[in-house]
Amino acid sequence: MDFPSTQFVPSRIMGTYQPIHQIGMWGENFKSIGNPSISASVIVEVDNKLENESETASHEMPAPSCKHDQEASKPFDKIQRRLAQNREAARKSRLRKKAYVQQLESSRLKLMQLEKELEQAREQGLYIGGGLEAGHLGFSGAVSPGIAVFEMEYKHWMQVQNRQLGELRTALNAQISDIELRIVVENGMSHYFELFRMKSTVAKADVFYVMSGTWKTSAERFFSWIGGFRPSELLKVLVAQLDPLTDQQIFEVCNLKQSCQQAEDALSQGMEKLQETVSATLAAGQLGQGTYFPQVAMAMEKLEALVCFVNQADHLRQETLQQMSHILTTRQAARGLLALGEYIQRLQDLSTLWATHPREPA
Amino acid sequence: MDKLMRLASGKDVVVFSKSSCCLCYAITILFQELGVTSTVHEIDQDPEGREIEKTLMRLGCNAPVPAIFVGGRLVGSTNEVMSLHLSGGLIPMLKPYQTWC
């Protein structure tokens, strides 16, 4: 570097340039997450150095401008600019440091939360922990059989579902007879009824599992109503795909939609009553005494009713599909099943896209 | 059997229920929405409740409650009422008993 010839300036300029170089170094450390403690100490050093430099510089500043006239005014301006740049750089550096530390903090909290959830999931036997961790946590490896069976069966169910959707597409494009198309439609309907049976079995083992929708993707869960899709929503999606419908069909579908909504309403209110009942039972007596087993036992008894609600909701779904297949022609029913299947696929793709979509750090 | 038939055979919509049963509550809500005020008998508060429960089971109800009678005839439980409603058969059945205030 070339420096002006005056005595004072070089040392100050030397002093001011070094911190910028060090800030560059810290930038590198920022990228490597491995040694936050080291970069933190570098930051502190840099900050102190900068603060010292700008202080000493400002004290010494007036002197040269008095002693040296025009020659010194140009480097004087340069010095001022460089110092201002350094102060700015230091400020930005401090902000970056703050952001980095905040990011570390939130990641730490997230990690703690994930570890807690993992522990809970293992305790509930939802899955067998992988390798070393399982042994380390003393996990016995027992998995809830009902849930394990369901997850296996559901995976297979989805494969069959996708195959059937392909068959529907082919059948609709080919010129097959109504009778043959009817068989494809019946297979599709039976396949959904099979899912409801599977859900009923696992609901007896663990109704919360069914209610939570863990076995589905996140976007599907978003639309969940008592452990599955809402029949009236389903009708809304279907009707738009089924043009043209006859006037009679439109009338019947409207009635079906209204009946669905009324039934859903009634079940939803029943669920609210169940929540109130369980809550009241659980909170009975004085909270804070420390002994509460009777309340918990009674609340559990009340909670058994949740299985009935899940079964009723699935029954409603099944009846909705049945009624639609009565109202529609075979061809329309085939298109409806295909539309429904593809809608669910889109929901699943949305979930995947959402999970992999990069987001700004907090 | 006698008490059950006596309670159920009015010209009415009768729901046999238990005070803790939320599904029974849901059924009464549905009837309300359709303009019907149903007569609810909480069999857990009836001294002859156990007899009524046994009779309902004998009549073919899987769960004793809710058990719905319309005009003295057993319609069934929640499943039957829901199926009937979705197929459009419930409202015609309830027409004589609808009271819109």
Q: What percent of chain A stands above pLDDT 90?
A: 49
Distance of CA A81 to the CA centre of its chain: 48
Q: Residue A290 has what pLDDT?
A: 75
Q: Assess whether pLDDT exceeds 60 at residue A61.
A: no
Q: Helices marked H in chain B — which ranges?
A: 2-8, 22-33, 49-58, 78-86, 90-94
ipTM of the complex model: 0.94
- Between CA A10 and CA A18 the distance in angstroms is 12
Are the beta carbons of A315 and B20 separated by less than 8 Å?
no
Are the beta carbons of B33 and A273 separated by less than 8 Å?
no
- Least CA distance to B66: which residue of chain A? A308
Q: Residue A108 has what pLDDT?
A: 84
Strand partners for B13: B70
Q: Residue A110 has what pLDDT?
A: 85
Residues in chain B closer than 8 A to A267 (CB atoms): 26
Measured between CB atoms, which of A256, A270, A319 is closest to B83?
Answer: A319
Q: Does any CB of chain A come closer than 8 Å to the CB of residue B79?
A: yes
pLDDT bin (cut points 50, 70, 90) of residue A72 is low
* A138 vs A275: which has the higher pLDDT: A275
Which range (A88-97, A115-124, A173-182, A350-359) has the least confidence? Answer: A115-124
Q: Residue A138 has what pLDDT?
A: 35
Q: What is the mean pLDDT of residues A176-193?
A: 94
Residues in chain A closer than 8 A to B44 (CB atoms): none
Cis peptide before B92 (omega within 30 of 0): no
Are the beta carbons of B82 and A255 separated by less than 8 Å?
no
Q: Which two tokens stand for residue B39?
A: 């007569």
Are the beta carbons of A273 and B22 separated by less than 8 Å?
yes
Mutate to test the interface with B, among A200, A251, A308 (most CBs of B within 10 A): A308
Tens digit of pLDDT for each residue in A248-262? 999 999 999 999 999
Tens digit of pLDDT for each residue in B7-39? 887 768 999 999 889 999 999 999 999 999 999
Nearby residues of A248 by Cβ (< 8 Å), 6 or more positions away? none
Residue A80 backbone dihedrals phi, psi, to 5 degrees = -60, -45
User: In 3D, which of A274, A272, A292 has the Cα closest to residue A283?
Assistant: A292
Inter-CA distances, B54 with A218, B4, B17, Å: 45, 10, 14
Residues in chain B closer than 8 A to A313 (CB atoms): none
Measure A202 CA to nearest chain B CA, in Å.
Answer: 19
Residue A241 backbone dihedrals phi, psi, to 5 degrees = -90, -10
Q: Residue A115 has what pLDDT?
A: 82
- Chain B, 4-33: which have a CB under 8 Å from a chain A CB? 20-23, 25-27, 29-30, 33
Q: Does any CB of chain A come closer than 8 Å to the CB of residue B87?
A: yes
The predicted model scores a pTM of: 0.68
User: In 3D, which of B69, B39, B70 has the Cα closest to residue B56?
Assistant: B69
- Between CA A311 and CA A317 the distance in angstroms is 10
Q: Which two tokens stand for residue A312?
A: 């009723």
CATH of domain B3-97: 3.40.30.10
Per-position DSSP letters for A46-85, written without gaps between them: HHHHHHHHHHHHHHHSHHHHHHS-HHHHHHHHHHHHHHHH
Q: Does any CB of chain B come closer than 8 Å to the CB of residue A312?
A: yes
- Between CA B67 and CA A152 the distance in angstroms is 37
Are the beta carbons of B86 and A277 separated by less than 8 Å?
no
Q: Residue A125 has what pLDDT?
A: 62
pLDDT bin (cut points 50, 70, 90) of residue A143 is low
Q: Residue A40 has what pLDDT?
A: 43
Q: What is the mean pLDDT of residues A43-67?
A: 46
Q: Residue A71 has what pLDDT?
A: 54
Are the beta carbons of B30 and A263 separated by less than 8 Å?
yes
Per-position DSSP letters for A110-144, written without gaps between them: HHHHHHHHHHHHHHTTSSPPPHHHHHHTT------
- Between CA A267 and CA A96 the distance in angstroms is 53
Which range (A46-60, A82-96, B5-19) has the least confidence? Answer: A46-60
User: In 3D, which of A208, A189, A99, A192 has the Cα closest to residue A147?
Assistant: A208
CB A79 within 8 A of CB A65: no
Q: What is the mean pLDDT of residues A110-124?
A: 79
| Greatest Cα-to-Cα distance within chain A, rounded to the nearest angstrom | 106
Are the beta carbons of B79 and A320 separated by less than 8 Å?
no
Distance of CA A252 to the CA centre of its chain: 39
Q: Assess whether pLDDT exceeds 70 at residue A33.
A: no
Are the beta carbons of A259 and B86 separated by less than 8 Å?
yes
Q: Assess whether pLDDT exceeds 60 at residue A142.
A: no
Tens digit of pLDDT for each residue in A192-231? 999 999 999 999 999 999 999 989 999 999 999 999 999 9
Q: What is the mean pLDDT of residues B39-59?
A: 90
Residues in chain B closer than 8 A to A277 (CB atoms): 20, 22
CB A90 within 8 A of CB A19: yes
Measure A171 CA to nearest chain B CA, in Å.
Answer: 29
Tens digit of pLDDT for each residue in B76-95? 999 999 999 999 999 999 99
- Chain B, 39-68: which have a CB under 8 Å from a chain A CB? 63
Q: Residue B62 has what pLDDT?
A: 81
User: In 3D, which of A200, A192, A204, A261 has the Cα closest to residue A233?
Assistant: A261
Are the beta carbons of B25 and A270 separated by less than 8 Å?
yes
- Chain A, 211-230: which have a CB under 8 Å from a chain B CB? none
- Between CA A316 and CA A263 the distance in angstroms is 8
Domain ranges of chain B: 3-97
Calculate helix-pair angle for A305-327, A231-241, nearest 10 degrees: 20
Q: Angle at CA A16, nearest 5°, toward A10 and A20?
A: 135
Measured between CB atoms, which of A265, A316, A320 is closest to B33?
Answer: A265
